[in-house]
Amino acid sequence: MDGQTLFGIVERYHGLGIHQSGTAVDIATARWLVTELETRGMSTSRQSVPFDRYAYESSLVADGEAVDHLPLFYEWVGEVETTDVDVRLVDTRGGGSVGLIDAAIAEAASSGRAASLLATDHPNGSLVAVNRSTGLGSGHPVVLVAGRDHDRLAEAAEIRLRLQATTERAATTNVIARNSAALGTDDQPLLFTTPLTGWVRAAGERGTGVAIFLEMIERFSDVPVLAVACGGHELDHLGVHHWLGTRDDEPAAVVHLGASVAVDQATPDGRVLAPTRFGVTNAGGDKGDAMRAALTPGRLTVRTDTDQWVGESETLQLLDVPMLSIAGGGIDFHTHDDTPERATSPAALSLMADIVEAATRILIT
């Protein structure tokens, strides 16, 4: 596929809606991906991953004006309507890992107030969603708001929060596919994997990885390929944990296409791939050096310290096979500003497809 076609895949993924696990959009996304895979000649199946979904209804009003917000999932369940809230500014550090704001949550829970608002500090003042685990937290109602709203909320004469929250049984989906070269053979396949879900529409965070994932399936049609796209990313990677515990396959090597694979950014000299992305590989020696050289044109910092796996690769490394993981972030990571036009470009997607292919061929040689 050319860069414009890859960009069209990002647009379609983004256009499906907000990709939270266990939602109608999650179901529709899995269905769409199955069609894309089958169009490419893959044999597909779907694996249901049950979990307790956080469900809520809420409103937040400051001095009569509605405020954009997101309850902190799994921190509290119940029903509350109150004006007894405190407002705090918190650095979510991108919100990509569970536990990043535990200290801030603990301070909020000890405030003695009925509820707390955590304003997410961000260069553009955006509301940054934070990854969560499905275990219940402090029991204190906590709501995220945009950093740009911190000052007006701190100075508001009245803030009224209404929140109803519960958990309900639901499921997300792992999509599993094999190409014709992998069917009817005992050869260990090359595994390509990417997450499918997230807090927002996630064009850059998720869509670029999905586009490159589909492109790699086409480029490696001559070797046995297993493709696994997992749900539950934002909920402590519950989909990949489920797949790993139930799998029938032992891959020969893994290429994990994580967050922000082809995210770029505007500069005075034009758009360039974001430097806040990195590759991690357990390939050492000459192979590791060759992979580093292959990945460098993508402005990827390449780590061979395997204590630095992130995202799903933290779990996938338990397979103990040669692996490459590409992940990172961009300025709009975990925000509603993560749109195709802001997050990536045909040139970035085309370049990263070539780079991932080159590094993968080195990995499996």
Domain ranges of the chain: 3-52+170-364, 55-167
Per-residue DSSP letters for 135-184?
S---SS-EEEEEGGGHHHHHT-S-EEEEEEEEEEEEEEEEEEEE-GGGTT
Backbone torsion region of residue 212, taken as left when φ is above 0, otherwise alpha when ψ lies between -120 and 50, otherwise beta:
alpha
Q: Quote the tokens at residue 229.
A: 């796209």
Angle at 168 between CA 119 and CA 133, to 5 degrees: 45
- For the stretch 158-212, pLDDT in tens is 999 999 999 999 999 999 999 999 998 889 999 999 999 999 999 999 999 999 9
CATH dotted code for 55-167 = 3.50.30.30
| pLDDT greater than 90 at residue 98 | no
Categorize the per-residue pLDDT at 96 as very low, low, confident or very high, splitting at 50, 70 and 90: confident
Coil, helix or strand at residue 97: coil
Per-residue DSSP letters for 255-314?
EEE-TTTT-EEEETTEEEE-SSEEEEE---HHHHHHHHHHHGGGT-EEE--GGG--TTHH
The alpha carbon dihedral of 137, 143, 148, 152 has a sign of: negative
Mean pLDDT of the chain: 96
The two domains 3-52+170-364 and 55-167 share their CATH topology (first three levels equal): no
- For the stretch 225-257, pLDDT in tens is 999 999 999 999 999 999 999 999 999 999 999
- For the stretch 20-29, pLDDT in tens is 999 999 999 9
Residue 161: count other Cβ atoms within 10 Å of its Cβ.
24
DSSP class of residue 187? S
The whole-number pLDDT of residue 94 equals 84
| pLDDT greater than 80 at residue 305 | no
Categorize the per-residue pLDDT at 336 as very low, low, confident or very high, splitting at 50, 70 and 90: very high
Inter-CA distances, 33 with 27, 147, 219, 343, 360, Å: 10, 35, 17, 21, 22
Strand pairing of 142-146 and 225-230? Answer: unpaired
pTM assigned to the model: 0.97
Rounded CA-CA distance 201/23 in Å is: 13
Coil, helix or strand at residue 47: strand
The superfamily in CATH containing domain 3-52+170-364 is: Zn peptidases (3.40.630.10)
Backbone torsion region of residue 204, taken as left when φ is above 0, otherwise alpha when ψ lies between -120 and 50, otherwise beta:
alpha
Residue 183: count other Cβ atoms within 10 Å of its Cβ.
11
Q: Which residues of 103-128 are buried (b: 16+ CB within 10 A; e: fewer)?
A: ebbeebbeeebebbbbbbbbeeebbb
